[in-house]
Chains A and B, each alone.
Chain A
Amino acid sequence: MSRPAALLREPAHQVSPRAVQMWRVIAVAELAATVVVLVVIAVLLPSRPWWLWVAYAVVLTPLAAIAIWMPGLRNRIHRWEVTPGAVYTRSGWVVTRQRIAPLSRVQTVDTRRGAIMRLFGLSAITVTTASAAGAITIEGLDQDVARRVVAELTEITAASEGDAT
């Protein structure tokens, strides 16, 4: 323990710029949908007391804030890196998590492409280990990057031996 105090550096790569677009589109869509619902309610109500608007503000302000700031914030925080020895990611925006799993302990490598992700040409890679707490997801990857990373990961993990516990 005589080593000097150390910190983790940032993972090397950022997510795809299209991921930021996707987060923004989703956040704006959520905001718009909520506005529509609230407007419909306001129209249908017989009377509109002052506190209704307060309640609306309480609901809408955080959603608007998320739509404005979240994509940029996430873009700065979300990062990933795959070395020959390990997977390292940083994610989250309210709670940030830096996750590291050595590739010798990796059990499965999954790719996921949801409907919206496909629209933006994105993929997510999930790497699981023998621990339920150890799964690592790299989100917002370009599809070709994802394909290359998966190939790399499967090649390295196939070479390691033992049951990874």
Chain B
Amino acid sequence: MSEWQRLDRRTMLVGPLKTLRQILVPALAALIGVGTQQPRWLLFAAPVVLVGAVGIGVLPWVTTRFRIAGDQLVVTRGLLNKTRLTAPLDRIRSVDLEAPLLHRALGIQKVEVGTGVDDTRIELDSLSTAQAEQLRNLLLTRAAVTPDPADDADVDTEPAPRSPDLARFRGSWVRFAPFSLGRLVIALGALGGLSQFVGDVGIDFSVDQEDVQRIESALLLVVVVLLVGGLVVWTLLSMAAYAVQWWGLRLFREEGNLRLTRGLFTTASTTIEEARVRGVQLRETALLRAVGGAELHTLVTGLDEGVYAVLPPCPTSETRRVGDDVLGDPAPLRTPLTKHGARARRRCHLRGVRLLLPAVVVALVPAVFFSVTPVLPVLVTLAVLLVGIALGEAEYRHLGHALTADHLVVGSGVTSRVRTVLERGGVIGWVVSQTWFQRRRGLATLVATTAAGAERITVRDVPLDRAITFADAVVPGMLEPFLVSSPPATAPAGT
């Protein structure tokens, strides 16, 4: 690969086809509209459109070239504004392959090279599937080992040995799709658009007074039908979206990398250097937990996004199994968490109630300004207390921390149960913060700073001495020079 190479010839088809697809309908309409009146116009227009489309397709192919020169990947592109991108091979963090439907039909793939240092990703759109795979292997193996200029390219063209799959998609997982609400927002947005459309159709809702009763029962029917229909539509849509995104998922190891391939129509392949994986996060949202499902994410350093989903919502046992495999230790995802104690629990309850306090204020407004009987505020206050304490209790149950041979484990979440596992070596500093209220109760919030994932892992409301002891145990030595043994009673430390 040390000579200049071009993109695959089939790339020339993609541009025009895409452009044509976009302008097809308006163009047809225009051409037919124009054509019926002035056939000669059509004769001129058609070649212009064709030439334009072909030009759009040919240009990137003519102008884009790439090669591996020594220990650098060099890409040049542009006709008038020439750009030349170089990336040292040892800086290449990820090589992702993607093939939307059109690309798949043509047998080509987009290659995206991430260097992790900044946000620019080098995109090669597109190479033949074999060529893309070869480039990917070459880049990643070269990135991993010390580059050797004498090394012949075709040594690396052998497909890399594959481990047995860590995980493989199962059709039955689709049942979890309706229980993850991430997509619901989008679906509701679409529904909003639809209702607007229904409004535009202009159904006349004005009714005669005589059959109010019939309308009431009809309304009830409509509401029930809408609810049931909404549920059915949501279930079907979410399952379809899930299948489109995750169909054919395979997660496997390849030369020190975790590789994920998936997709029903658009196939995508993501590669994460395993040495950059610092931990995992197991998320069980309330709905998913109810049906025994969970999501698994890896915490990665040095990439634009620190948190990568490696599994879709799927059975908890499956996420545990894969998580264990990625971590190389079954303990972190199973070990019981140390609770934070009664003082932390009280703070959780308070937080739950405080979160819902605005509802009480809203309920008080009519009572104060319109002198209505204060039944409503009293009821709302009771409800807020009950729900708030229930939320707080849930949060307290999920709160906790633990330490295993190589990892620190932190539990968090209010309605969701989240367990975050980080390699001890991934901790690059500590923050012990105490609000005024926490100082009074001798509690602290411990934050482990890290380069991976969300860049911070928070242990909330731990008794101060336990927070410090825990931090000291996670990374022995880091806190050593600053420690004093604690006085017998838990003194409110700080000031």
Tell me if B482 is interfacial: C-beta within 8 Å of chain A.
yes
For the complex, give the distance between the alpha carbons of A132 and B429 in Å: 11
B449 within 8 A of A: yes
Instruction: Tell me the residues in window 366-405 of chain B with beta carbons closer than 8 Å to chain A beta carbons.
Output: 403
Contacts of B436 in A (CB 8 A): 94-95
With A96-B433, A97-B433, A131-B449 in contact, do A8 and B455 touch (Cβ < 8 Å)?
Answer: no
* Chain A residues whose CB sits within 8 angstroms of the CB of B466 once the complex forms: 5
| Contact indicator A134/B465 (Cβ below 8 Å) | no
Closest CB of chain B to A59's CB: distance in Å? 21
Q: Which residues of A contact B455 (CB under 8 A)?
A: 131-134
A85 to B434, CA, bound (A): 25
Report the minimal beta-carbon distance from B483 to chain A, rounded to whole angstroms.
5
Does A148 reach chain B (CB closer than 8 Å)? Answer: no
Q: Which residue of A lies closest to B483 (CB)?
A: A6
The listed residue (B302, B449, B473) touching A133 by CB distance below 8 A is B449
A105 neighbours in B (Cβ, 8 Å): 428-429
Residue of B nearest to A134 (CB): B449
Interface assignment of B328: CB less than 8 Å from any CB of chain A: no
A129 at the A/B interface (Cβ < 8 Å)?
yes
Smallest CB gap from B473: residue in A:
A1
For B428, give its contact among A9, A90, A164 (CB under 8 Å): A164
Determine the chain B residues whose CB is within 8 A of the CB of A96 once the complex forms: 433-434, 439, 494-495
**Using Cβ atoms and an 8 Å threshold, which residues of chain B touch A92?**
433
User: Complex Cα distance A74/B466, Å?
Assistant: 26
- Assess A130 versus B428: contact at CB under 8 Å? Given A100-B482, A165-B301: yes
Give the dominant DSSP class at B's interface.
mixed
Residues of A within 8 A of B468 (CB): 5-8
Selected contact of A100 from candidates B301, B302, B479, B493, CB within 8 Å: B479
Q: Which of B397-447 contact A (CB under 8 A)?
A: 403, 426, 428-436, 439, 447
Q: How far is the CA of A37 from the CA of B451 in the complex (A)?
A: 46
Write out, one digit per residue, whether chain A residues 74-103 have a CB within 8 A of any chain B CB (1) or not (0).
Answer: 001100010101101010101111111110
Within 8 A of A (CB), among B471-495: 472-473, 478-479, 481-487, 493-495
Contact of B465 among A6, A73, A77, A133 (CB under 8 A): A6
Which of chain B's residues have a CB closer than 8 A to the CB of A11?
Answer: 482
Q: Is the CB of A98 within 8 A of B431?
A: yes
Interface contact B439-A9, CB-CB below 8 Å: no
Residues of A within 8 A of B439 (CB): 96
A contact residues, total (Cβ < 8 Å): 39
Q: Please, which residue of chain B has its CB at the minimum distance from the CB of A83?
A: B481
A102–B426 Cα gap in the complex (Å)?
12
Contact B479 A7 (CB under 8 A): no
Q: Is B484 within 8 A of A9, CB to CB?
A: yes
Chain A residues whose C-beta falls within 8 Å of the C-beta of B495 in the assembled complex:
73, 76-77, 96
Known: A99-B429, A130-B301, A134-B449. A3 touches B482 (CB 8 A): no
The answer on a CB contact under 8 Å between A8 and B479 is yes
**B contact residues, total (Cβ < 8 Å):** 40
Supposing A6-B472, A7-B483, A8-B468 touch, asked if A97 and B493 sit within 8 A by C-beta, the answer is no
User: At the interface, yes or no: B238 with Cβ under 8 Å from chain A?
Assistant: no
Q: Once bound together, how far apart are the Cα atoms of A92 and B485, in whole Å?
A: 24
**Which of A4, A8, A94 has a CB less than 8 Å from the CB of B482?**
A8
A5 x B486 contact (CB < 8 A): yes
B83 at the interface (CB under 8 A from A): no
A131 touches B481 (CB 8 A): no
Contacting residues, chain B, for A131 (C-beta < 8 A): 428-429, 449-451, 455-456
Q: Which residue of chain A has the shortest Cβ distance to B471 in the bound complex?
A: A100
The CA-CA distance from A159 to B455 in the complex, in Å, is 25
- Residues on A with C-beta less than 8 A from B433 are 92, 95-98
Residues of A127-148 at the interface with B, using a CB-CB cut-off of 8 Å, are 129-134, 136
Smallest CB separation, B169 vs chain A (Å) = 32
A98-114 interface bits toward B, Cβ cutoff 8 Å, 1 = contact, 0 = none? 11111001000000000
Residues of B with C-beta under 8 A to A85: 478, 481
Residues from chain B with Cβ under 8 Å of A81 in the complex: 482
Residues of A contacting B403 in the complex (Cβ-Cβ under 8 angstroms): 1
A163 CB → nearest B CB, Å: 8
Q: Which residues of B contact A83 (CB under 8 A)?
A: 481
Q: Is the CB of B493 within 8 A of A102?
A: no
Q: Which residues of A contact B487 (CB under 8 A)?
A: 7
Q: Indicate if B469 sits at the interface (CB-CB under 8 A).
A: yes
List chain A residues, Cβ under 8 A from B465. Answer: 5-7
Digitize B296-315: 1 where CB-to-A-CB distance is under 8 Å, 0 elsewhere: 00000110000000000000
Asked if B282 lies at the interface with its beta carbon under 8 angstroms from chain A, I say: no
Instruction: List 5 A-B pairs, minimum CB-CB distance, nearest first.
Output: A134-B449, A130-B451, A133-B456, A165-B451, A131-B449
Write 12 A-B pairs (CB below 8 A) sorted by A numbering.
A1-B473, A4-B486, A6-B483, A7-B484, A8-B493, A73-B495, A86-B482, A98-B431, A98-B433, A99-B432, A132-B455, A133-B455
| Further 13 A-B residue pairs, CB within 8 A, beyond A5-B485, A101-B428, A165-B428 | A3-B473, A5-B486, A6-B465, A6-B479, A8-B493, A97-B432, A100-B479, A101-B429, A129-B451, A131-B428, A131-B456, A134-B431, A136-B429
